[in-house]
Structure 1
Amino acid sequence: MSVPAPQLKINGKVALVTGAARGIGRAIALRLARDGYHVAINDIPQNQEGIDEVVKEIEALGRRAVGVPADVSDADQTQAMVAKVVEVLGRLDTSVANAGIAEVKSILETTVADRRRMLSVNCEGLMNTYISSAQQMIKQGDGGRILGACSIAAYNPGTLMASYSASKFFVKGYTQVAAKEFAKHGIRVNAFAPGIVDTPMWDHIDAEMAKELGLEPGEARQAHVDRIALKRLSVPEDVAKLVSFLASEDAEYITGQCMITDGGCSFA
């Protein structure tokens, strides 16, 4: 079966970014707006204030924006979220499944509830976003882009981060299968794998590792920075640049890949 030619002309198209009230998701949403997209901003309802702030930032760039609070680990909420995006912005061309959580615990201290929460958000949330987005893109009939948040933990699993690392291995595998299945609809599916990004999530990881390993605050983070070839922490905008490329026409022959952006911390 022939694959439809890519139809994406970025100006005026619509993107959805989950987990976008702050950090990497916010940077991705703002970058896509600068690229020409109208953008839907998702996060959990508890982060409504952050959602509203990012919506205002995007509107200030001259693009349309809508906040779509939802817990993406719930399939019904995710379906409703995509429906709201289409209702307000008209369609969906690029979907970024960025929402995720991290946890620092040894394997033996991790509870069943801990594991279920991690897999619910990082795995179920990504699956729900991929499926709901693909269904809408197939209905539109002119292809699209689906992108998922992976991590260098999918290549170099982190000590004290077993559940998180396992969830990111899942992202890589699920993305590859989705790319194979959705290709006939002209949908490109890829993942982006950040390294150590200077965000509140890494503040939490550093603090928890310090407690677990008997370190001073900042020492765990610095130990990771020392391993980076470019000798600096990543910033959210570094990740947003890669997502911008994967969402662009320049990436139309790329699918099923997991691309690392970590300054030379992990070599796969």
Structure 2
Amino acid sequence: MASVFKGIALVTGAAHGIGRAIALRLANDGFHIALNDIPSKKALLDDIAQTVGDKGGRAFAICADVGEEEQVKEMVHGTVKTLGGLDVMVANAGIARVNSLTGTPADVWDKVLRVNARGVYLCYRFAALQMIAQGRGGRIIGASSVAGKRGYIGLGAYSASKFAAGGALELGKHGITVNSYAPGIINTPIWESTFVPSDYTSFEEEKNKYVGDTAVGHVGEPEDIASLVSYLASKEARYVTGQCFSADGGIFLT
């Protein structure tokens, strides 16, 4: 782990996949880390905290449902109480569902929007309030998607939710930048569990089709997203705000 303290970061959806990679990268960069996910994933968060601690860093698990206002408020408060403040909020938590427009039940639509849109909004809001109160600026970073830049067949609810993770320019006067990252298909369990045979012939065939549509010829890894977030969380990114950065291997959108 880096020996120079960089600040305090809170990463939601940190139990696995992209969130886990982001948390480990920021810890390596020198941040103290609050690791968030839902209670059923507490053991996974504790394992990550132990990994960080074994390398000389500092991390702790704080469970909360990002769709619940009071839980997000308490999550931010708990981070401040335990680690001493909040400098970086990474609103990474998200879910994906594949359904046609006519085949999407209202409760599925509501669930996706609740986590991916409402959850991001609540994380942005309470992080911003804390950062403004601290008076030292900050970084707010959210999870969008290539599906948050254009619609995709079968991803109506998901696309709508990911369009919500934009930047908030109003916070610039407080020294707070707000950006988002838009991955393509990343090699994580969420995609294999999302693209089921009832929607596509097989996950491998869909992944291979995606690979054929990228400039680099392969799907991404969680660490590819973590490296982008590492930059957005850094002091070097102080003049970058209101942007959504694609990290999709140069997928052709035509």
Q: So what's the TM-score if we normalise by structure 2?
A: 0.96
**Partner of 1:81 in structure 2?**
75
Query: Is 1:187 aligned to 2:176, yes or no?
Result: yes
Out of 35, 51, 54, the position equivalent to 1:57 is 51
Query: Is 1:108 aligned to 2:102, yes or no?
Result: yes
Q: Which amino acid aligns with 1:190?
A: N
Retained in 2: the 8 A contact 1:93–1:144?
yes
Q: Which amino acid aligns with 1:212?
A: D
RMSD of aligned alpha carbons: 1.3
Instruction: Give the CA deviation at 1:116.
Output: 0.6
Instruction: Give the CA deviation at 1:61.
Output: 2.1
Q: Which amino acid aligns with 1:42?
A: N
State the Cα deviation string for residues 141-187 of structure 1 (Å, max 9, x = none).
Answer: 01000000000112232211110011111213xx2xx2x21111110
Q: Which amino acid aligns with 1:218?
A: E
Q: How does 1:41-56 map to 2 (within 5 A)?
A: 41-56=35-50
Q: How does 1:1-268 map to 2 (within 5 A)?
A: 11-172=5-166, 175=167, 178=168, 180-206=169-195, 208=196, 210-213=197-200, 215-266=201-252
Gaps (5+ residues) in structure 1?
1-9
Q: Which amino acid aligns with 2:235?
A: E
Aligned-residue sequence identity (percent) comes to 45
State the Cα deviation string for residues 21-62 of structure 1 (Å, max 9, x = none).
Answer: 000000000000010001000001111111111111111221
CA change 1:84–1:219 in 2 (3 A) is same
3-state SS in 1 of match to 2:50? helix
CA distance in structure 2 between the partners assigned to 1:104 and 1:267 by the alignment: 19
3-state SS in 1 of match to 2:102? helix
State the Cα deviation string for residues 182-239 of structure 1 (Å, max 9, x = none).
Answer: 1111100000111110001111123x2x3224x1341111111111110111000000
CA distance in structure 1 between the partners assigned to 2:74 and 2:246 by the alignment: 31
Gaps (5+ residues) in structure 2?
none
Q: Which amino acid aligns with 1:46?
A: S
3-state SS in 1 of match to 2:164? helix
Retained in 2: the 8 A contact 1:33–1:61?
no
Name the structure where helix makes up a greater proportion of residues: 1
State the Cα deviation string for residues 61-111 of structure 1 (Å, max 9, x = none).
Answer: 211111110001001000000010011100100000000000011111111
CA distance in structure 1 between the partners assigned to 2:38 and 2:249 by the alignment: 30
Instruction: Give the CA deviation at 1:113.
Output: 0.4
Retained in 2: the 8 A contact 1:155–1:266?
no
Retained in 1: the 8 A contact 2:192–2:203?
no
Retained in 2: the 8 A contact 1:156–1:266?
no
Question: Which 4+ stretches in 1 moved above 6 angstroms?
Answer: none
Q: So what's the TM-score if we normalise by structure 1?
A: 0.91
Retained in 1: the 8 A contact 2:6–2:29?
no
